[in-house]
Amino acid sequence: MPSVFLSPSTQEWNPYVNGGTEEQYMNEIADRMEPYLRSSGISYRRNDPARGAVGAIADSNAGRYDVHLALHSNAAPESLSGKLRGIDIYYAPSSEDSEMLATIIANNFKSIYPLPDKSRPRPTTSLGEVTQTRAVAVLCEIGYHDNPEDAAWIKSNLNAIAVNLVQSLCDYFGIPFVWAGPVRMGTVTAGGSNLNIRSYPSMNGRLIGSIPDGANVTVYGKTGDWYVIFYQGITGYVNGAFLSVN
């Protein structure tokens, strides 16, 4: 199943024009993403705020992640302070996958951002969290926090932004987005056989593990006839016909 290194801003010194900081609100978005990542079958790790961007790059590169997703909000140059608006999704021009992911995110933001023509993918060769990570990476500048309208939009749409980002990741990975609900427990009822764990909610999905009959699993969500489960370090899909959910 897909894995993401989630890297919200550590820039507590960047104030929002209407109170709060970039670090605060990007982490609030990341907090809201977590249940949707789990329910959609995407594993993740969060950055360590004490380690900054350099530490985030090192920690990301030390693991095996499919995507490195950095979350930021922008600020205009002093001469244009408060005058700019927009969402910029930065990608590595040397990576087709990075550009693809940035384009998906920018296009999906058009559905919730009040100025859809100002949500754009942009190439970068200078942002380390995009150019120095082994995983496919993008850096999202989600509005301008020195602009009153953008700052107010971010604060009023934290959950919508989080959902939109997870939907974009699901689009990129080619898996269904699953709305988050309460985490539940389930018991395998496979008539004495093992229950297959698959990478996609279909009998054609790749086998990534199995669960003994009678074993308990953590259930994160459901899509169609399939549950998103976690069992002994594996996140994947199991056929709901063989799982009793509490």
Residue 109 tokens read as 């933001």
Taking only the tens place, the pLDDT of each residue in 172-184 is 999 999 999 999 9
The full set of domains in the chain, from first to last, is 3-173 (3.40.630.40), 184-245 (2.30.30.40)
pLDDT band at 225; cut points 50, 70, 90: very high
How much is the pTM? Answer: 0.95
- What would the mean pLDDT of 36-51 be, rounded to a whole number? 96
- Name the average pLDDT for the chain: 97
- What would the mean pLDDT of 91-111 be, rounded to a whole number? 98
Q: What's the confidence (pLDDT) of residue 56?
A: 97
- What would the mean pLDDT of 37-57 be, rounded to a whole number? 96
Contact 6, 33 (CB under 8 A): yes
Give the whole-angstrom CA distance, residue 18 versus residue 82: 11
- Res 243 pLDDT > 90: yes
> Which stretches of the chain are assigned E, i.e. beta strand?
3-8, 43-46, 67-74, 87-91, 119-123, 136-144, 184-188, 195-198, 207-211, 216-223, 226-231, 234-239, 243-245
Helices (H), 110-174: 128-131, 148-156, 158-173
- What would the mean pLDDT of 12-18 be, rounded to a whole number? 95
Token look-up 């605060």 returns 24
Q: What's the confidence (pLDDT) of residue 212?
A: 98
Q: What's the confidence (pLDDT) of residue 1?
A: 86
Give the whole-angstrom CA distance, residue 168 versus residue 71: 14
| Closest by CA position to 71, among listed 198, 162, 181 | 162
Distance of CA 205 to the CA centre of its chain: 22
